[in-house]
Amino acid sequence: MKTETRIVSAGRHPEQHFGAVNPPVYRASTIVRRSLAEWRDVRNRIFDDVVYGRFGTPTTKAFEEAVAALENADRAVAVSSGMAACAAAILSVVKGGDHMLVPDNAYQPVRKLAENFLKPFGVGATYYDPAIGAGIADLIRDDTSLIWLEAPGSQTMEMQDIPAIAAVARERGVTTGIDNTWATPFFFKPLDFGVDLSVNAATKYLVGHSDAMLGVVSMRAELFEKVKITANSVGSCPGSEECYLGLRGLRTLAVRLKQHEANALRVAQWFQQRPEVNRVLYPALPDDPGHALWKRDFSGASGLFSVILEPASEAQIAAMVDHLEHFGLGASWGGYESLVLPFDPTGYRTVTEWRAAGPCLRFHIGLENPDDLIADLEAGFDRLRAAG
């Protein structure tokens, strides 16, 4: 079955819901049983039956089933946010005395999890150059239990040689986990490339409409319980409403992402022609350093990329972004709308030097007509120059 078809059909069981196309939002904490025998029986299957709201309602399970099918995984565990998904994946692997490897361009809160939360529990972290590839072998220690990946990495968008890292990890008995939020399982299926745990901040493209917080981890059957127990132990469960919105968003993922990709490519190529722009960081561009890896492993690019401007003052950046009509200034991305956010990775990188000619802006290109977006940005550059 092709992915577009799977996106429409996965996790749907109308026969279980009076023929309704979508599963209803089950608002449930307590699930009552008819007898002590039934209660005792179901307690043996807490993660596979519907036992208590925190373990998942039928709506949660429908979302998990659909995502697992898209990721070519056996199982998926839905949690309360993308960050909760990163945490559930990581905490399901590392224990006190372990060591993990994290790319230098990882989503910053993952670094904070490693530094502020895991270090006091005796888990060490070493950061690595995202371009390391099979060279990761030199950083693996006897106590290394996890290699974390993210491609392209947050903000600076470097690609990673995912299969090369996964192959080394397999050989050395180290578990791998990846943040797959940028590509989504529509454009990249990490488990097919040897990665053990695939994380999606469903808040972004899976939900797709900027109206819910949701995360999900996908895995082979043997890793399921560890992740599920971890998520449950820290009380990380999504609401049924959020899972419903995740499922509803998922059904249009293919068409939305294809349009995000087309729009983003148009705008990124336009940026490349602008004198105010020093570099565009987007692996879908043929001259991006990550293009060959992206082309080899991914089947498409989503709508998020970054731009390094030529030197400009804070006042010039403000003149540009403060009055953009179609680009909201705010955290997150993956909804239908365009966004812009300034960033500066110099403060948190530790093993790779980040040198940029000027200020950096991250753009999420939404589903607006790209002509309107370009006109808006063009006016923004006019203001930037006028403020110089």
Q: Which residues are catalytic?
A: 54, 107, 179, 204
Site string for ligand PLP, 199-218 (x = CB under 6 A): --x-x---------x-x---
Q: What are the beta bridge partners of residue 128?
A: 103
Three-state SS for 27? Answer: coil
Distance in Å, CB of 363 to ligand PLP, minimum = 13
Residues between 81 and 100 that touch ligand PLP (CB under 6 A)? 81-83, 86
With contact defined as beta carbons under 8 Å apart, do 159 and 284 qualify?
no
| Least separation in angstroms between CB 205 and ligand PLP | 11
Residue from 63, 107, 193, 363 touching ligand PLP (CB under 6 A): that is: 107
Given the complex with ligand PLP, which of 179 and 196 has the nearer CB atom? 179
Cα–Cα–Cα angle for 136, 141, 145, rounded to 5 degrees? 85
Nearer to ligand PLP, 82 or 370 (CB): 82
Task: Give me the residue whose beta carbon is nearest to ligand PLP.
Answer: 82
Residues 6+ apart with CB under 8 A from 127: 101, 102, 103, 104, 106, 111, 349, 350, 351
Q: Which is nearer to ligand PLP, 51 or 76 (CB)?
A: 76
Minimum CB–partner distance for residue 18 and ligand PLP (Å): 32
> Which one of the spans 34-42, 75-83, 125-133, 190-198 is the region binding ligand PLP (CB under 6 A)?
75-83
Give the span between the Cα atoms of 184 and 214, in whole angstroms: 14
- Segment near ligand PLP (CB under 6 A); pick from 32-40, 80-88, 353-361, 377-385: 80-88
* Options 24-32, 78-86, 243-251, 305-313: segment touching ligand PLP (CB under 6 A): 78-86
Rounded-to-integer distance, Cα 270 and Cα 32, Å: 59
DSSP single-letter state for residue 153? P
Q: DSSP H helical segments within 98-183, as ranges?
A: 108-112, 162-172
* C-alpha–C-alpha distance, residues 253 and 6, integer Å: 11
Q: Which parts of 218-247 interact with ligand PLP (CB under 6 A)?
A: none
Choice between 213 and 267, CB closer to ligand PLP: 213
CB of 81 to ligand PLP, least distance (A): 3
Geometric angle at alpha carbon 107, from 76 and 205, rounded to 5°: 50
Residue 271 found at the interface with ligand PLP (CB under 6 A): no
| E-state strands within 224-369 | 277-281, 304-309, 327-329, 338-343, 360-364
Q: How far is residue 314's CA from residue 126's CA, in Å, rounded to a whole number?
A: 33
C-alpha to C-alpha distances, 314 to 287, 299, 346, 357, 385, nearest whole angstrom? 29, 37, 16, 14, 12
Q: Which is nearer to ligand PLP, 23 or 334 (CB)?
A: 334
- Is the Cβ of residue 12 or residue 204 nearer to ligand PLP in the bound state? 204
Q: How far is the CB of 270 from ligand PLP (least distance, A)?
A: 24
DSSP 178-205: EE-TTTHHHH--GGGGT-SEEEE-TTTT
Place of tokens 């909760």: 84
Per CB under 6 A, 154 contacts ligand PLP: yes
d(Cα 366, Cα 344) in Å, to the nearest integer?
23
Shortest Å distance, C-beta 316 to ligand PLP: 26
Residue closer to ligand PLP, measured from CB, 62 or 202: 202
Contact with ligand PLP (CB under 6 A) among 57, 144, 145, 181: 181
Q: Can you tell me the distance from the alpha carbon of 349 to that of 372, in angstroms, rounded to the nearest whole number?
A: 35
Q: Nearest approach, Cβ of 154 to ligand PLP (angstroms)?
A: 5
* 108 is a site residue for ligand PLP (CB under 6 A): no
> Toward ligand PLP, which CB reaches closer, 90 or 164?
90
List the beta bridge partners of residue 360: 308, 343
**Alpha-carbon gap, residue 274 to 269, rounded angstroms:** 9
Smallest distance, Å, CB 179 to ligand PLP?
Answer: 5
Q: Is 332 in the site for ligand PLP (CB under 6 A)?
A: yes
Positions in the binding site for ligand PLP (CB under 6 A): 81-83, 86, 107, 154, 179, 181, 201, 203, 213, 215, 332
